[in-house]
Amino acid sequence: MRSSPTILHLDMDAFFAAVEQASKPSLRGKPVVVGGLGPRGVVSTASYEARVHGVHSAMAMAHARRLCPNAAYLVPRFGIYRQISDTVMALLGEVSPLIEPLSLDEAFVDLEAGELGGDPRAVAERLRAEIRATTGLTASVGLAGSKLLAKIASEQAKPDGLVVVTPGSERALLDPLPVRTLWGVGPATAEHLRKAGITTIAEIVHAGEPEMVRLLGKAHGASLHASAAGLDNRPVVADRDVKSISVEDTFDADLTDRAHVRYEIDRLAERCVQRLRGAGRSGRTVVVKVRRYDFSTLTRSETLRAPTDDPGVVRETARRLIEPVDTTGGVRLLGVGVAGLADFTQEDLFAQVAEERAAGEREPDAYAPPELPATAPPAPERAKLWWPGQDVEHEEFGSGWVQGSGVGRVTVRFEVPSDSVPGRVRTFAVDDPALAHRDPLPLVPYSSPASVPKSPSG
């Protein structure tokens, strides 16, 4: 760990939802939830106005709607998220050449590798101001002598803040925090520690490494104790060569019902795609991991013809992989991952068509439909589908976005990012020839509400 706080962790505040608020004047200062709108959809990002109602990422969308029924529920627009992410990363590049992106909205920066010099706090404040002036969005920053502490500091800084961990203040930051704050502590590990009377980071340190090894095993126990002690010498690594992206869950009680296993596979596939798209990646190989009641673990994989980030493709492939696996004795853990990563998507059209035939005219289960090439007109059946949040253009009324659709009608609010007041709402037939999809308009920096309620980070 360094003797000065020269590792910076930046995390854009409620990134996807904040972009939607900046793009849509009528949603500024109001609860916004971005994610899958179908019955199996999950929340990707919730604005802080929605988080005060208990909505958070990875929550089932149906549950979010019950908690915050008056929020705007929108499909993601990954094209514009990537554009803004590129702008933010370019600003980070002006601070230091050594940047380790974690996703579209998050990165580590090694200030020692930069040429600006000076006080790290001043550098961080200037960076936050430049991001806000350029994009209209806010970012939270943590500064510390290690990646672990910088990451935790940025979480404490949310929203729109800066926390600097100076030498000697590490324990004051770490000790009162819950064990879930540390990397590698999921629900199952946290529950195991709770049963042992350990709920805070300070209690991990006081328990000692031998006790952690006894509770969690040699590798996990020793690593967790070191993290709790604030020991982290990992360098900031530019252009990390990530081989795969995956998610997994360990269940408190073994799953024995086959339908429940399928449900969990679907849910994990949705979460995996969320992480995949958040990192701006696609992948060719879908992997399913199963740990059974007797701790035997197996993996099954299938390589697609082209990289994809389509949730339907990943979900259907994961279903095929789990189908022949014998789970009658009970399942302790399930995981879904995507490997063979790429920076582009070339949709598996056959799987996509199969998904659409099964879905009919319903809303998507997880995410917005794949973006179509600019040179190719949309297929007729896709042109009739409208999802809340999509950008549209009307020959008479100009640019706007879809507020909702159903029973053959589509409602559009006509407003653009540069507007200072909400636009007017009009309703059309879904097959109105004057209404068409359009690319997102660039953001225009605006003044967000002065006070944003503190809530869970993201």
How high is the mean pLDDT in each 10-residue block of the chain (458 residues)? 91 97 96 86 92 92 95 92 92 92 92 80 95 95 96 95 94 95 85 94 96 91 93 84 80 86 92 83 92 87 89 93 90 92 54 42 39 41 74 96 93 95 96 94 69 49
Cα separation, 120 vs 7, in Å, equals 9
The reported pLDDT for the residue numbered 328 is: 86
Q: Is 1:145 a contact under the CB 8 Å cutoff?
A: yes
Distance between start and end Cα atoms, the chain? 26
Cα separation, 427 vs 405, in Å, equals 9
Cα separation, 118 vs 112, in Å, equals 10
Cα separation, 297 vs 318, in Å, equals 16
Residues facing residue 337 across a β-bridge: 246, 287
The class that CATH gives domain 244-349 is alpha beta
Bond before 159 cis per omega within 30 degrees: yes
| 136's tokens | 């209209």
- Longest alpha-carbon distance in the chain: 72
The reported pLDDT for the residue numbered 58 is: 81
| 21's tokens | 């608020």
The reported pLDDT for the residue numbered 102 is: 86
Residue 122, judged by CB atoms within 10 A of its CB (0-12, 13-18, 19+), counts as exposed
Q: Is 120:164 a contact under the CB 8 Å cutoff?
A: yes
* Closest C-alpha among 216, 286, 291, 219 to residue 249: 291
The reported pLDDT for the residue numbered 458 is: 55
Q: What angle do CA 393, 282, 291 make, to 5 degrees?
A: 130
Pick the catalytic residue from 20, 106, 356, 363. Answer: 106
CA distances from 433 to 228, 396, 436 (A): 60, 11, 7
Phi, psi of 372 (to 5 degrees): -90, 145
The reported pLDDT for the residue numbered 239 is: 64
**Residue 270: active-site member:** no
CATH topology of domain 375-437: SH3 type barrels. (2.30.30)
The reported pLDDT for the residue numbered 344 is: 57
Q: In what order do the strands lie in the sheet with 162-164?
A: 99-103, 106-110, 7-12, 139-144, 162-164
- What CATH number is given for 177-228 in this structure? 1.10.150.20
Q: How many CA atoms lie within 13 A of 108 on its CB side?
A: 25
Cα separation, 85 vs 94, in Å, equals 15
Residues facing residue 317 across a β-bridge: none
Q: Is 30:23 a contact under the CB 8 Å cutoff?
A: no
- The domains of the chain are located at 177-228, 244-349, 375-437
Whole-model pTM: value is: 0.74
